[in-house]
Structure 1
Amino acid sequence: MISLMAGAAAPAPGPLHIIGGPKTGGCIAGAVSLPPDGPGFETIHLDRSAFWGAPQTIARLQLFGREAQAAGLPPLLIEDISRARGGPMPGGHVSHQIGLDADVGLDMRPRPPLTEAQRNTVELDSLVRADGRGVQPALWSPRVVTLLHLAASLPGVDRILVNPTIKQQLCREVTGDRAWLRLIRPWYGHAAHMHIRFRCPAGQVDCVQAAPPPQGDGCDATLQWWFDQLDAPVRPSVPHRPPPPPAACKAILASG
């Protein structure tokens, strides 16, 4: 078995306590770790990722792996969840601070299990063309649709962030039941992995729950807006500094 690396400080003891939200930053007590591998999943980039989360998050990711395996998909490649006590992540992942978010690779091409060395060096391929206006035909398949449908069907899912082009391709292909498309939301980047966000668990009064996604399947003008931006003049980038964790996190993070 491979040992957990980044974010491997001991979790804060005690019952589950989540403070903060996806936009404010935050922390978590009572986190548990995702095993390095299990039925239907493998963790990757152990030298720079963190795999701690609320017990509900970890259980649902393990369920996701089992369901993906049962559907004939290759092992899920899971990256960042949160650090042992939450708080700021290397690279500025603000929403990965409270143990309710997880990144999962989208490439569903058949492959054997990765070796230990490969799991640290593998780089996820983008499913989106360089021009941002379509998916890569060699990487897109019905297996990707199955993967995203399974993710959207997990208990407690708040939303799943993917590249707008991936959302667009789903809008074109999915027939029959399209209700789950409501949870698939377009966002910058996310061309090689999905970002799964779970809702605040019951009883977590200090966990800030985001407003739910709008009604409908999201295959409307709000999606077209993302593609209109590709033709808009390039604006200067403004450095983004993640907000500091809420003051209530001080005790949890102090010794973590």
Structure 2
Amino acid sequence: MKKDLLMILFICMFLLGAYMAIAQASPWEGVKAPYEGQEQSIGSYANGCLSGGEALPLQGEGFQVIRPSRNRYYGHPDMIAYLTKLGAKTKAFGLDDLLIADIAMPRGGNFSSGHASHQTGLDADIWLSFAPETLTKTATENQTAVSLVDLKNYKLRRENWLKEHAILFQVAASEPEVARIFVHPVIKETLCGLSWEDRSWLQKVRPWWGHHYHMHVRLRCPEGSTSCVNQKAPPLGDGCGAELISWRPKPEDDKKTASVTKKKKAKIKPAQCTTVLTQ
């Protein structure tokens, strides 16, 4: 009798967990194909959707898509053109294939967990490791990330840093359609410490936690996307001074602040997103 009760309890808990997972899932994750409307990035990077999106080929000149089963290799046509161009340019510089990770879901929108942005087809993650040969289907799904930062000691992993990384960042950030490239502050410091004839592109390379094994490229709102919301432009200068220093770890006493719990407001998507999702 006791075993029966335990079995019933186990089944109930399993069903409750499954129900909660379904309830919390984003409806955007269930859509498998782009919305066949005018190409538009709608809303903001962290609260929007994508109309007329395109799929990035799983393999092209100078790049390969990893973890394609996640179905996150869709973007605004401008993003697809940018990544295609970037792969060709970096290959011409002698780099091995770029590993393109998440861009957006077929119609953009929000994820159940993980990314807050990547909602309008204008964000793309590129891993900071390269593929010297064509990956097998299994390998594309099971790539291991290579971190460029010793997170515990807040310093560069010199054994993982390649001259090709510097080339990649410069080529990627120099394109006019790029608004920002997010990287770990230690990577930004490393780039700032190198000799560059032109340092203007460094302004777009922005420090942000978590980006130690990949770079996050963000494009400006495309022409014709009238409902797209651009992010405020980065501060003037190369960003290699006091602003970057402020990201360095501080003594524990300096980190102590009052704990304040803020209630997050529910985000309301632009009205066009209802059409994009449901039709």
Confirm or deny a common fold (TM above 0.5): yes
Please give the root-mean-square deviation of Cα atoms over the aligned residues, in Å: 2.3
Question: Which of 28, 35, 39 pairs up with 1:16?
Answer: 39
Change beyond 3 A, Cα 1:15–1:170: same
**1:7 offset after TM fit, Å?**
7.1
CA contact (8 A) 2:108 2:119 kept: yes
Change beyond 3 A, Cα 1:55–1:237: farther
| Equivalent in the alignment of 1:3 | none
> Which protein shows a greater Rg?
2
**1:131 offset after TM fit, Å?**
1.9
SS at match of 2:43: strand
| Equivalent in the alignment of 2:14 | none
Structure 2: distance between partners of 1:251 and 1:104:
30
2:124 maps to 1:102 = yes
**1:129 offset after TM fit, Å?**
0.7
| Equivalent in the alignment of 1:158 | 179
TM-score for both structures, normalised by structure 1: 0.89
More helix by share: 2
Question: Which of 149, 162, 171 pairs up with 1:128?
Answer: 149
**1:206 offset after TM fit, Å?**
0.5
Identity of aligned residues (%): 38
| Equivalent in the alignment of 1:246 | 269
Instruction: Please show how residues 134-149 of structure 1 align to structure 2 within 5 Å.
Output: 134-149=155-170
SS at match of 1:103: strand
Change beyond 3 A, Cα 1:172–1:230: farther
> Which region of structure 1 is more displaced relative to structure 2, 241-250 or 57-66?
241-250
Residues 37-81 of structure 1: per-residue CA shift (max 9 Å, x gap): 111000001122501111111011000000111111110000111
Residues 153-201 of structure 1: per-residue CA shift (max 9 Å, x gap): 2240001000000000011113321111001000010000000000001
**1:114 offset after TM fit, Å?**
1.8
Higher relative contact order (CA 8 A, sep 6+): 1
Structure 1: 5+ residue runs without aligned partners? 1-5
2:127 maps to 1:111 = no
Structure 2: 5+ residue runs without aligned partners? 1-28
| Equivalent in the alignment of 2:247 | 226
What amino acid maps onto 2:230 in structure 1? Q
What amino acid maps onto 1:250 in structure 2? T
2:66 maps to 1:44 = yes
| Equivalent in the alignment of 2:4 | none
Matched residues, number: 248
> Which region of structure 1 is more displaced relative to structure 2, 129-138 or 212-221?
129-138
